[in-house]
Amino acid sequence: MERKRFIDKVAIVTGGGSGLGRALCYSFAEESASVVCSDINIDAAKETVSGITNSRGKAISVKVDVSSANDVENMAKAAIKEYGKIDILINNAGIAARQGLLDTKEETWDTMTAVDLKGPFLVAKAVIPYMMERDYGKIVNIASVAGVVGCVSSAYTASKAGLIGMTRVWALEFAPYRICVNSVAPGFFATPINEALRKSPLGEKLAKQVPLGFGKVEHIVPVVLFLSSSESDYVTGQCLVVDGGLSGTRDFGPEYWGFDKGKK
Amino acid sequence: MRLEGQVAIVTGAGQGIGRAIAKTLAGEGAAVVVNDIDLEKASKVAEEIKAQGGKALPIKADVSKRDEVNNLVKETLASFQKVDILVNNAGIAKLTPSLELDEEQWDSTIDTNLKGQFLCSQAVARHMVEQKRGKIINIASLAAHIGTPGLLAYSASKGGVVQLTKVLAVEWGKHNITVNAVSPGFTITELVKSVFEERPDVFEGVDRIPLKRPATPEDIANTVLFLASPESDYVSGQVIAVDGGTLSIHPRMVKPLE
């Protein structure tokens, strides 16, 4: 697709050093955006940036721990210093772990909510004033299907559900400044981290519960780009679940569908 | 061209949002079947598309009639050999206090808005299952999410559309068919104008919409295009409100802080 939807636009992607964040940085740059790639791992962020600049795109890297107000303010300032404005913010940085409530230590709760929930709060607070100045902005918060249905862990689900809630408040609060705020909630995705799980018998069972099968990063990127582009100028306060139909309802399996037809 | 070589059916495309959807899909290279119950209107939209260099075929059908729907699909296949995209857009609405709503209006509203989407989806999906690919986009409404006074039958039909969307997404996912819905916010169309021409006293204006403007038919069409394109291949069973933030408003209408 040879489209250039982000000519003269400046996009910040947090957690841009790997996975979805890196794929988003590449895609924004391909469509001509100037990219601010932030990551707590500066080497990873730099690698993303070289990937972009090697193909003549524009990008800078910034080391940022999104749970640090100081880091986050520096990131916004770096973006302004380099590119003069911020049009698009993707709150992508996040951490996750499967864990039962009774096994969750207070420290784990604090760390996870600091990155996954307080992080987007701090980042938005630092970036939105620059968007308000110019009466324009697009914010996409990367939530999770765990914020819509209960799964993964208390701290993760609480953070992601909170992020979806903040999305709605910001949509309302900053609509007068033409800032659109939406969230994207990915479902079950094939990543290097869950490779062993996916290849196990349990993984095969799980895959069958997703109508369209496990997702890929390539499935999420265009959805985020859509919400960052002028094509979605009247969409705000929404949570777009990208889960291959997982959370829509429940497939009880072939026995259920065939029940009234008697024996197979 | 994001839909090069694809074939789309848009129901109720003779005016309003349907017309904008048909023109947008055609503008991205799709051959579009412009369906409407009013053939004259459908033909006019088809001519507009052709004048812009697009491919279009007007077909008259009442979506609430099984035979007409089957014929719509048959004629589409005869002309274009396949259907990749179905946009269930045809719908009717009339403001009526619920105590005065007669059975006929209830029936005709449910038949067109809900049964019509069922009939069209089933007829088209039979073909999509064979080709192992398809995109169905159902037009719902904010009335599916919040109670709108005077729109009882309409709201019930659109609430049904949301659930129809979810069931079909799960049932047909294994055939690589995605099914999603779009809930337009307040959009200035012929239908909406006719509703409020009759009862201008109940119209509160657009001030309460966070983005402070009504939707244009093109706003809705752009989201439908997204759901019709490969960009949304992993999105299924979803409802996207294109509403300028309306659904995010606090029910007690707290004003944004200045």
Percentage of chain B beyond pLDDT 90 is: 81
Q: Which residues of B are known catalytic residues?
A: 154
Q: For residue A216, what pLDDT is reported? A: 92
Number of domains in chain B: 1
From chain A, the residues in CB contact with B185 under 8 A are 234
- Rounded Cα distance, A242 and A186, in Å: 5
Put simply, the answer to whether B170 touches A248 (Cβ < 8 Å) is yes
From chain B, the residues in CB contact with A173 under 8 A are 256-257
From chain B, the residues in CB contact with A235 under 8 A are 219, 223, 240-243
User: Domains of chain A: which residue ranges?
Assistant: 10-244
From chain A, the residues in CB contact with B249 under 8 A are 172
Contact indicator for A257, A251 with CB cutoff of 8 Å = no
Interface of B with A in 147-176 (CB under 8 A): 165-167, 169-174, 176
User: How do residues B4-36 score in pLDDT, each as one tens digit?
Assistant: 999 999 999 999 999 999 999 999 999 999 999
Indicate whether B1 belongs to any domain: no
Report yes or no for ipTM above 0.85: no
Put simply, the answer to whether B170 touches A211 (Cβ < 8 Å) is yes
**How distant is the Cα of A239 from the closest Cα of chain B, in angstroms?**
8
> Which of B242 and B203 is assigned the larger pLDDT?
B242
**How distant is the Cα of A183 from the closest Cα of chain B, in angstroms?**
11
Q: For residue A264, what pLDDT is reported? A: 43
> If interface means Cβ-Cβ distance under 8 Å, which residues of chain A face chain B?
1, 168-169, 171-176, 178, 180, 187, 210-212, 215-216, 219-220, 222-223, 225-226, 231-238, 240-245, 247-251
Indicate whether B211 belongs to any domain: yes
- Give the predicted TM-score (pTM) of the model: 0.84
User: How do residues B159-199 score in pLDDT, each as one tens digit?
Assistant: 999 999 999 999 999 999 999 999 999 898 887 777 777 77
Put simply, the answer to whether B173 touches A242 (Cβ < 8 Å) is no
Amino acid at A56: R
Put simply, the answer to whether A232 touches B232 (Cβ < 8 Å) is no
DSSP chain B: -TTTT-EEEETTTTSHHHHHHHHHHHHTT-EEEEEESSHHHHHHHHHHHHHTT-EEEEEE--TT-HHHHHHHHHHHHHHHS---EEEE---------GGG--HHHHHHHHIIIIIHHHHHHHHHHHHHHHHT-EEEEEE--GGGTS--TT-HHHHHHHHHHHHHHHHHHHHHGGGTEEEEEEEE-SB--HHHHHHHHH-GGG---STTSTTSSPBPHHHHHHHHHHHHSGGGTT--S-EEEESTTGGGS-TT-PPPP-
User: How do residues A207-250 score in pLDDT, each as one tens digit?
Assistant: 888 889 899 999 999 999 999 999 999 999 999 999 998 886 56
- The CATH number covering residue B198 comes to 3.40.50.720
Instruction: Tell me which of A26, A83, A130, A156 is the catalytic residue.
Output: A156
Domain that holds residue B17: 7-245
- Rounded Cα distance, A72 and A122, in Å: 7
Q: Right CATH number for A10-244 from 3.40.50.11900, 3.40.50.970, 3.40.50.720, 1.10.1060.10? A: 3.40.50.720
